[in-house]
Structure 1
């Protein structure tokens, strides 16, 4: 469907996110006050997007796989404060290096961002180490969600400049103790979600010296749950601990040191599953392990087993 917006000089918001299963080609001409543009997730980012310099919100577009013009145009939208886009599952007709370089260059110019979300179009997380070299100017960023759109080999060091960050969602292949200390010391987030694909090679120890003094919600998405250890003084404000796991790959244990979380009110376990049969398998053991752990804690947190379908992204080849 071709949608043309002509001469609506007073138009400020265009939200078509409720449209589903419909391919839209959008053309906007002469809408100088357009500030908020939200589209269905299947909509291709148009080449002309850089001309709509009044935009402060841009959500829903999938980055093109065969062109750099729209991606380069993102860098012209310096008024943006809220950006959400989708990665394709592969590049077509372009080298991934050129594609990522163009994206990095554009993101480097968006100094007013407060919210940045990156998701995947077909549940495929792109290897995003090319973005680790960013020197982002968005020092006022409050929300950064990269968890299901891409995966880093290590925690990018530029994140240490995001001192106003309140919510962080990230996928990282390898987390070392120095990364834990780095996140906890430099990013005083109230919400942290950490996805670790693959097998952990060393313990993740969170202690009083690590930081996280104001963290209230923590999601740990990893099957090696027993590798997560809390020491005295860890996460003193944490109220909600969520653990996402695959029952077939889970190491059949709860995190160590839960008794050191003095404000813990709720423990929730999410099953990574796709069918009702998978939901049923292993639920009794999960209930047993985590309910027993919750019952022994001084704060007596409530335990929830969530059986809603939750899918991890497939890692890019």
Structure 2
């Protein structure tokens, strides 16, 4: 990347430190200029030092001069890798001890690997880096550590748009930050990354506690004679096809992450009694995997993720006392008895069409369930509807009279994603008083349904798909305001949206889709945007028949928002044929 000019450098630096791109308090102007001189216009250097200064609890000129004097290299006159490493090392040195430990663990991941926040923090907790304190859950604390590393620019947050409705937030570390992590990890014997036989030979007499295998399959067969796995607490294996790892050697293993690996014998997993986190991913065509038939000995297993072709789940999975997170990407029947899984907080990839009636009924008995992701793999909803005598998302849920006569009590569900259509909005939705995030799709939506959703006091994130809506469209009424909603997404094309004053006072993000041909014939059916006083982001998908019509419609949409929110909004407009 080219160095930034002086103006852009100041904008980046001031924006990160002070929150305003063109503002710097007078006492800090001189040290700021000298620091920017040292950074030489390099964005990574500027954002690293700016993040370091922004993280300090107090701000003083002497503190800034201390940082300035710590920068020995002048990257403007001598832009070297060593100078950049020195800046990153300074940022690392100023990290609190707990953040250093968490950052070094990222060295387990290969270069340019997508980091999933939820899974990384679960690995930190499984390793014992983070514990609950003062009533705060360990995962909550670990999440705050992750956010702090993002704020300090040690971790980069990115957004990828696959389609208009598929937005993925993921994280990476810069290549030079990863080099620093690996170097520090080697110095402190924190972890070992094996990329070739030289590494194995060099480390054969070390007690390796964290091991990341990133080898070609030809070399991997040579590991066993050279490296002991006895002391390993975390093992990550990436992109290999092999059968050579002796899992039974992993007597103290807590984290096992197998990514894009084929042929690994998982039978010994049932005897890894200290295992807390297990994530198995396999993407090779024609590959399959088989878990052992019995895993009830895994008394400490808290996280189980299976993203691979799987014949069946172990029958005794329902007896794992600590299992709180279960995600199975393949559609598979769960063993009967899931009502015994009392510690389960998150359940993802659950297909009701594959389950027994007893298991559907039992979902209502999972008292600690906070997050549920359900979807059908085909059009089986109608065929399974008649046998779904009980359907979940709370402590007690019964299904009678086509999803509506449901009895709910003390519901504590916080996130609910239902990836299939209901005929109408189920009555029990209005009783989900702790729900903060909801995705739901209905064949028919009425105004009363909007009022029901508005009555959910904690609802902050709503994705709503409706095939048919009232003639006046989807109306957000001031008489039924959404008190907490900050994100709204409409998943159908062409519906009118009307926002009355005070109906959605906190909405910051609005996402919807329009058909260009409909706009040309009926106009843009969008009213009340002036009442969205906290709006910050607008994402619009434009479906077109003739691409030449798109610019005019896009300009008209921007004009509507610019009239009431001039220069204030971030727009993301995409167009597609169809």
Asked if residue 50 in structure 1 is aligned to residue 338 in structure 2, the reply is: no
The 2-side partners of 1:271 and 1:119 are apart by 27
5+ residue gaps, structure 2: 1-262, 392-402
The 2-side partners of 1:165 and 1:159 are apart by 9
The 1-side partners of 2:444 and 2:501 are apart by 24
- Retained in 2: the 8 A contact 1:152–1:172? yes
**239-248 vs 25-34, greater mean Cα deviation:** 239-248
Q: Secondary structure at the match of 1:160?
A: helix
Partner of 1:229: 498
The 1-side partners of 2:459 and 2:408 are apart by 18
Q: Secondary structure at the match of 2:505?
A: coil
Partner of 2:303: 36
Partner of 2:413: 141
Q: Secondary structure at the match of 1:218?
A: strand
- Retained in 2: the 8 A contact 1:239–1:266? yes
> Which structure has the highest strand share of the two?
1
> Which structure has the highest helix share of the two?
2
Coordinate RMSD, CA, aligned: 3.3
Q: Secondary structure at the match of 1:233?
A: coil
The 2-side partners of 1:245 and 1:18 are apart by 38
Q: How does 1:104-119 map to 2 (within 5 A)?
A: 104-119=360-375
| Bigger Rg, which one | 2
The 2-side partners of 1:155 and 1:144 are apart by 14
- Retained in 2: the 8 A contact 1:44–1:61? no
The 1-side partners of 2:356 and 2:308 are apart by 20
Gap change, CA 1:199 and 1:44, over 3 Å in 2: farther
Partner of 1:264: 535
Gap change, CA 1:187 and 1:247, over 3 Å in 2: farther
Partner of 1:79: 343
Partner of 1:212: 482
Cα-to-partner distance string for 1:85-141 (whole Å, 9 max, x where unaligned):
1438x76xxxxxxx573443021111101111124546x684586543554567222
5+ residue gaps, structure 1: 92-98, 312-317
The 2-side partners of 1:282 and 1:62 are apart by 42
* TM-score under structure 2 length normalisation: 0.45
Q: Secondary structure at the match of 1:208?
A: coil
- Retained in 2: the 8 A contact 1:113–1:138? no
* TM-score under structure 1 length normalisation: 0.77
- Retained in 2: the 8 A contact 1:163–1:186? yes
The 1-side partners of 2:376 and 2:518 are apart by 24
The 2-side partners of 1:125 and 1:157 are apart by 22
Gap change, CA 1:77 and 1:111, over 3 Å in 2: same
Asked if residue 62 in structure 1 is aligned to residue 318 in structure 2, the reply is: no
- Retained in 2: the 8 A contact 1:104–1:134? no
Partner of 2:438: 168
Q: Secondary structure at the match of 2:526?
A: coil
